[in-house]
Amino acid sequence: MKLINQIVLGTMKLRKYFNNIEDLSAFLNYAHLKGFRQLHVSNEYSSYDLIVKSLKIIKKKKFTFILKLAEPETDKLHFSLKRFKQKIDKYRHDLGEKNIFIVQLVNRHKCNNSRKYLSNELKIFDEIQNIINRLKKDNHIQSFYYFPYHINSNEIKRYKFIDGIACYRNIYEKKNDNYALENNYKIIAMRTFGGINKIVNKKNLKKLIMFNACNKLVKKIIVGVNNKRQLDQLLKVC
């Protein structure tokens, strides 16, 4: 697989760098022309509404979207299958149904209590597996990943409908590798530049990208790129 096909552009901070749909649509169009055709989006990001409006200007361009889908959204709420399905439908409506969609579930219920979280996670997976299989069959989504606040191979073993996990992975953080390997799950690598402990610079950009790209577990790499200059730098690596 070509490296550029593994790269997913993060969109969380785009609102900080773009304040109108003309400039953002031009940036997204430029990225698409250069071969970057995957975006990580969330309706929780301040950039989301601007992205939706910008995509309408370049609606002929086809993207693959990784959908960060929080359900439930807070620690105190319980999972709702109805809300879960409605959120997928809303994403597809907002972003254009012709595009390709990958769901990344974020379950926040009792996420600070590993025992309760894992027990609840099992119930959620049992509840959603039929609907995920149906969505895949109908080509409404391509695959399903989830963000693991906690992992325990003895409690949560492989589900066939789960394609992998979306998790933090960089040169200092790879604690989920064994879990992914044991369950034959692929990884969508997040915080590839270290997150709040930013470790990227011009000299080590390629090293940080290749750390994930060279690992067979890693299917996709989310990279935060917020302007044309950064995109061109990334292009040189690819």
193 confidence band (pLDDT: 50, 70, 90)? confident
pLDDT of residue 111: 87
- Sign of the CA dihedral running 81, 41, 198, 7: positive
13 confidence band (pLDDT: 50, 70, 90)? very high
pLDDT of residue 150: 83
Percentage of the chain beyond pLDDT 90 is 80
pLDDT tens for each residue of 82-115:
999 999 999 999 999 999 999 999 999 988 888 8
196 confidence band (pLDDT: 50, 70, 90)? low
> What is the mean pLDDT of the segment spanning 33-45?
97
pLDDT of residue 31: 97
Please say if the pLDDT value at position 1 is more than 80. Answer: no
180 confidence band (pLDDT: 50, 70, 90)? very high
Distance CA 176, CA 151 (A): 8
The pTM (predicted TM-score) of the whole model is 0.94
C-alpha distance from residue 103 to each of 34, 44, 52, 65, 234 (Å): 25, 15, 17, 8, 25
Domain, as residue range, for 198: 3-237
> How many folded domains does the chain comprise?
1
C-alpha distance from residue 163 to each of 192, 218, 226 (Å): 20, 12, 29
Q: Write down the mean pLDDT value for the chain.
A: 93
Q: What is the CATH number of the domain that holds 80?
A: 3.20.20.100
pLDDT of residue 133: 98
pLDDT tens for each residue of 198-210:
666 767 888 999 9
